[in-house]
Structure 1
Amino acid sequence: MEVSIWPAIRFVLFDYFRFVTHRNQWHMNESHEREKVMHRIRNFQPPVLQSSETLEQLTFTVFDLETTGFFTEFGDEIISIGAVKMDLTGDHPPLYFYDIICPSKSVSKQITGLTGLTNEKLSTAERFPSVIARFLAFIDDTVLVAYPASFDVPFLVNELKKWKLPRVSPLYLDARKMAEDLFPGHNNDLSDWAERMNMDKDFRHHALKDACVTSFVFEAIYSELDSRGLTLWGDLSAAWKGGTS
């Protein structure tokens, strides 16, 4: 896939200084909020799992991000986070998280068309540190699941670094990689999964709706794992995992 150099040029010429101003204003003007955010982030604890623990013993947080583009290293930012906290027993009702984030720059018409998030709406939202602190409290001691985690998790971690916030290393599973390995004959795009499950495909590019669909896909993945006798954390391929355990 050929990648345009325009994002890098735009970042160097325009976006970097805009973002630094956006970040520094928050650090300087929100000292009380900054103290609370730092405390919450430093207290974040991913689970420490043993290979013998069953998947049904664990709590998972399936999440999705909407962003201004694909290149966090070239100035793209998170504009919404959606998540579903769930277990695989069905004994506990799912819990939901959704919030939008005010970015340092205007979002393009294309992104507004995809996500429904306008610059006017985003301008009223909180900045990244306050939202991410609440999100980390929500996902504390759970295994993250994303579709694909290879995009969402590094993007999230890099945003913390850009904002000069404490580093976190969440434990996660890449549901896209799991689906591709377990269902090699299927088209494993999230929209195709939604169609096979008779779900409305209009959900795409809304963080919480994407997370909800991914949670159903993850349940299907678990059913396949269970049918193969792969019910322990230690049974899962290392290629599907990332993070601290």
Structure 2
Amino acid sequence: MREPVKKSGGFWDALRTRTVPTSTASMIGTHSAQQIAFIRSLTKGQRRPETLHIPLTELKTAVFDLETSGFHTRYGDEILSFGAVKMEGDRVTNETFHALSRSTQPISKSIIDLTGITQEMSDQAPPLVDSLHDFMTFIDDRVLIAHGSAHDKSFLDNALWRTTRTHLGHRVLDTMMIAGKLEPGRGITSLDDWLNVYGIEITVRHHALEDSKMTAALWAALIPRLRYKNILTLGDLYVFLSKG
């Protein structure tokens, strides 16, 4: 389910204060210039210190996943789809987001087989800036969660830089890192393995929204285990993760 894009004061303020240069706006068109200004406004000020004191049971998060055309942005691999689900503390909400993004390069057969995203589906999808704008609108200023987040952060940051010359400013938590820290003896990393550990049903893998939902269920299962170790707030979690 794709949420309607909401209006934002920051969106128009950025345009009025010329966050987007006139030359850029004229080159890419007003609609895209407005999108870029809004995305820029969302990437600023996401690391407020007061967030560290919020209990994990009350923390507003957005669990997300990306499907990509490969593993390396430096070789031209791109985002093919975005998925996300909002959480309120340990409760998974019904607010979800899924969108395809048009690839500028042919999609390999191995990626088509893995993700189910065909070349035709990609060709009919919106350009990256449109899907990225809608995704950033959906996640808003929430703390982000992903499993094996390095890959997703790299692609998201690259997409932001390519389209808006900004970097991702959101805090990002990694369920793979947290689960591994809680149970280091298991020696596993994959989402499938951790889902099996916590008895979470595996639905459709390598689908951005379905992977987001399963990762959200994993995060919900990790919160009480963190609480058992007296890790109650986001700040506590950072301290726990920083210990050797």
Do these two structures clear the TM 0.5 threshold for a shared fold by scoring above it?
yes
- How far residue 221 of structure 1 moved from its aligned partner, in angstroms, is 1.3
Give, in whole Å, the separation in 2 of the partners of 1:111 and 1:202.
19
Distance 1:94 1:181, change over 3 A: same
Residue 75 of structure 1 pairs with residue 73 of structure 2: no
Identify which range, 189-198 or 104-113, moves more after superposition.
Answer: 189-198
Aligned equivalents of 1:228, 1:210: Cα separation in 2: 27
Instruction: Answer yes or no: is 1:225 the counterpart of 2:226.
Output: yes
How many equivalent residue pairs? 215
Pairing of 1:22-101 with structure 2 (within 5 A): 30-44=28-42, 46=46, 48-50=48-50, 51-90=52-91, 93-101=93-101
1:38 Cα deviation from its structure 2 partner: 1.4
* Amino acid of the structure 2 residue aligned with 1:43: S
- Give the RMSD, CA atoms, in angstroms: 2.3
C-alpha change, 1:171 and 1:224, in structure 2 (3 Å) is: same
Aligned residue for 1:236, secondary structure, equals helix
Which residue of structure 2 lines up, in the alignment, with residue 169 of structure 1? Answer: 169
3-state secondary structure, aligned to 1:64? strand
Match of 1:98, SS state, is strand
TM-score by length of 2: 0.80
Equivalent pair of 1:60/1:85 in contact (CA under 8 Å): yes
Q: Show the counterpart of 1:152.
A: 152
**C-alpha distance in structure 1 between counterparts of 2:54 and 2:223, whole Å:** 15
**Could you tell me which residue of structure 1 aligns to residue 136 of structure 2?**
136
Checking the alignment, whether the CA contact within 8 Å between 1:52 and 1:233 is kept in structure 2 is yes
Deviation at 1:118, TM superposition (A): 0.3
CA contact (8 A) 2:200 2:218 kept: no
Query: CA–CA distance in 2 between the matches of 1:89 and 1:173?
Result: 14
Cα distance change, pair 78–166 in 1 and its aligned pair in 2 (3 A): same
CA distance in 1, matches of 2:239, 2:73: 26
Q: Give, in angstroms, the shift of residue 157 of structure 1.
A: 0.4
Contact 1:65–1:82 (CA<8 Å) still a contact in 2? yes
Q: Distance in 2 between matches of 1:60 and 1:112?
A: 30
Provide the C-alpha distance between the structure 2 equivalents of 1:55 and 1:101, rounded to a whole number of angstroms.
Answer: 32
CA change 1:205–1:128 in 2 (3 A) is: same
Contact 2:39–2:164 (Cα < 8 Å) also in 1? no
1:10 aligns with none
Maintained 8 Å contact 2:181/2:241: no
Greater displacement, 169-178 / 191-200? 191-200
Partner Cα separation in structure 2 for residue 40 and residue 203 of structure 1: 32
- Report SS of the residue matched to 1:237: helix
AA partner of residue 31 (structure 2):
E
Identity of aligned residues (%): 31
Structure 2 spans left out of the alignment, 5+ residues: 1-24
**Greater shift in the superposed pair: 192-201 or 95-104:** 192-201
Whole-Å separation in 2 of the counterparts to 1:240 and 1:129: 34
| Structure 1: gaps of 5 or more residues | 1-26
Conserved? CA contact 1:146–1:173, under 8 Å: yes
Q: Which amino acid aligns with 2:172?
A: Y
Per-residue CA deviation, residues 121-171 of structure 1 (Å, 9 max, x unaligned), is: 110000111111111111112000011111111221012223354333111
| Pairing 1:205–2:206 present | yes
SS in 2 for 1:43: helix
SS in structure 1 of the partner of residue 53 of structure 2 = coil
